[in-house]
């Protein structure tokens, strides 16, 4: 008989919740040796134990995880029932058949809450035992996420004028980061705002170049960055008058054309414009002859490519007059 009872107890211990019941008569309670009988379907003291959940997640920022435990116990004679709660970990809050089990700070895994009840009547004392297990899940790892960073490029760009780059951001995980601003630029010098959301860049001497501002947002475990670039315009090119003279001697004219040719040779991309203004008393063909004479000297004596020389005829003046112009590549030609 004892062997069968041992087998039954081992079988019941593997079932959650576990309920064990034992009753002792008044005579048995006075003896030194107590006889424990495992409850059958006709047990004199019944007990069931339930929890409102069988799993919780114990995260520090989600508050203390708690489980509500409810015991349903029935004494056959209607005698008072005493409740004694215990746990493998955590804290029981409250007394009686309904309590709260606080699992704050517990390691992930299964934890057990146990209940012993006792009912004492005229015929002796009855006891029952039950337990329930709850799984504590580990917190999900929060993956870092970069914020959405936007750099606002300047729209007003002038030669040798400072540029202002500003930034704004939204989102990001974790959300309580106090970001650190680290700016770098491809050209120029940061003169204000390093370490803040807005910088000012000196662009002196950077005409025609692109200035790119890059922002690295510190404070996150990821590389959070953005950039923006603008191009400084080139100075506006204009034609310039190099020399002008009336109908002078041939030798004086050659001396002026020599200087003109030297200047043109220093910029092989520039175009020479020779404007001849006829005099009111100029003879027919005199203007064209004078223009041809200038071109011939520049080509044969100064070695200029004739394709770089353009001749124009201006409106009549009191006397014949010559203007020598140099037009850089991309500049607007002179308009006599």
Lowest mean pLDDT among 114-123, 194-203, 311-320: 114-123
Cα–Cα dist 49/65, whole Å: 19
Tell me if 84 is assigned to some domain.
yes
Whether residues 112 and 171 fall in one domain: no
* Structure tokens, 312: 């124009």
pLDDT, tens digit, 9 for 90 and up, residues 59-108? 755 667 889 999 998 887 788 899 999 999 989 999 999 999 998 888 88
Whether residues 245 and 227 fall in one domain: no
Whether residues 20 and 114 fall in one domain: yes
Whether residues 166 and 41 fall in one domain: no
Whether residues 153 and 46 fall in one domain: no
Whether residues 223 and 312 fall in one domain: no
Tell me if 333 is assigned to some domain.
no
Mean residue pLDDT of the chain comes to 83
Res. 248: pLDDT tops 70: yes
State which of 19-28, 123-132, 228-237, 263-272 shows the largest mean pLDDT.
263-272
* Structure tokens, 151: 């750099």
pLDDT of residue 5: 39
pLDDT of residue 27: 32
Number of structural domains, the chain?
A: 3
pLDDT, tens digit, 9 for 90 and up, residues 45-67? 788 899 999 988 877 556 678 89
Whether residues 244 and 214 fall in one domain: no
Q: Which of 46, 88, 93 is nearest to 69 (CA)?
A: 93
Whether residues 176 and 221 fall in one domain: yes
Please give the average per-residue pLDDT across 239-268, as a whole number: 95
pLDDT of residue 28: 34
Lowest mean pLDDT among 11-15, 145-149, 163-167: 11-15
Looking at 137, 156, 175, the residue that finishes a domain is: 137
pTM given for the model: 0.46
Confidence band for 333, pLDDT divided at 50, 70 and 90: very high
Tell me if 332 is assigned to some domain.
no
Per-residue HEC secondary structure of the chain comes to CHHHHHHHHHHHHCCCCEEEEEEEEHHHHHCCCCCCCCCCCCCCCEEEEEECCCEEECCHHHCCCEEEEEEEEECCCCCCEEEEEEECCCEEECCCCEEEEECCCCCCEEEEEEEEEEEEECCEEEEEEEEEEEEEECCCCCCCECCEEEEECCCCCCCCCCEEEEEEEECCECCCCCCEEEEEECCCEEEECCCCCEEEEECCCCCCCEEEEEEEEECCCCCEEEEEEEECCCCCCECEEEEEEECCCHHHHHHHHHHHHHHHHCCCCCEEEEEEECECCCCCCHHHHHHHHHHHHHHHCCCCCHHHEEEEECCCECCCEEEEEEECCCCECCCC
Tell me if 13 is assigned to some domain.
yes
Tell me if 299 is assigned to some domain.
yes
User: Which domain, by its residues, includes 286?
Assistant: 240-327
Please give the average per-residue pLDDT across 186-209, as a whole number: 95
Whether residues 38 and 19 fall in one domain: yes
Whether residues 290 and 316 fall in one domain: yes
Tell me if 20 is assigned to some domain.
yes
Per the model's pLDDT, the better-predicted residue between 203 and 30 turns out to be 203
- Residue 225 belongs to domain with CATH number: 2.60.40
Distance (Å) of CA 14 to CA 7, 17, 18, 305: 12, 9, 8, 106
pLDDT, tens digit, 9 for 90 and up, residues 289-315? 999 999 999 999 999 999 999 999 999
Tell me if 92 is assigned to some domain.
yes
Looking at 77, 102, 137, the residue that finishes a domain is: 137
Tell me if 212 is assigned to some domain.
yes
Cα–Cα dist 126/23, whole Å: 4
Please give the average per-residue pLDDT across 254-274, as a whole number: 95
Percentage of the chain lying above the pLDDT 70 cut:
84
pLDDT of residue 240: 95
The answer to whether the beta carbons of residues 244 and 321 sit under 8 Å apart is: yes
Per the model's pLDDT, the better-predicted residue between 26 and 128 turns out to be 128
The answer to whether the beta carbons of residues 136 and 64 sit under 8 Å apart is: no
pLDDT of residue 85: 93
Looking at 231, 260, 281, the residue that finishes a domain is: 231
């Amino acid at each position: 008989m004892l062997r069968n009872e041992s087998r039954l107890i081992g079988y019941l211990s593997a079932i959650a919740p576990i309920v064990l019941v034992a009753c002792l008569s008044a005579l048995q309670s006075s003896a030194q040796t107590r006889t424990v009988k495992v409850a059958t379907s006709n047990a004199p003291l019944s007990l069931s134990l339930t929890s409102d959940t069988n799993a919780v997640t114990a995260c520090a920022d989600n508050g203390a995880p708690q489980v509500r435990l409810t015991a349903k116990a029935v004494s056959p004679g209607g005698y008072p029932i005493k409740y004694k709660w215990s746990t493998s970990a955590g804290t029981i809050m409250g007394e009686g058949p309904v309590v709260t089990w606080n699992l704050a700070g517990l390691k992930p895994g299964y934890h057990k809450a146990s209940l012993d009840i006792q009912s004492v009547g005229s015929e002796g004392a009855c006891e029952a035992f039950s337990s329930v297990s709850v799984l504590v899940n580990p917190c999900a790892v929060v993956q870092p996420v970069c914020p959405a960073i936007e750099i606002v490029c300047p729209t007003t760009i002038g030669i040798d004028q400072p540029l202002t780059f500003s930034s704004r951001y939204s989102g990001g995980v974790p959300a309580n980061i106090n970001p650190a601003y680290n700016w770098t630029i491809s050209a120029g010098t940061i003169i204000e705002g390093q370490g803040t959301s807005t910088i000012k860049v000196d662009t002196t001497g950077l005409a025609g170049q692109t200035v790119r501002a890059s922002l690295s947002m510190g404070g996150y475990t990821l590389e959070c960055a953005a950039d923006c670039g603008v191009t400084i315009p080139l100075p506006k090119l204009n034609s310039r008058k190099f020399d002008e003279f009336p109908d002078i001697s041939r030798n004086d004219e050659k001396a002026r054309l020599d200087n003109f040719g030297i200047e043109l040779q220093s910029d092989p991309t520039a175009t020479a414009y020779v404007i001849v203004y006829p005099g009111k008393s100029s003879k027919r063909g005199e203007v064209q002859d004078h223009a041809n004479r200038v071109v011939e000297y520049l080509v044969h004596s100064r070695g200029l490519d004739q394709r770089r020389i353009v001749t124009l005829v201006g409106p009549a003046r009191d006397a014949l007059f010559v203007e020598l112009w140099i037009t850089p590549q991309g500049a607007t030609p002179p308009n006599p």
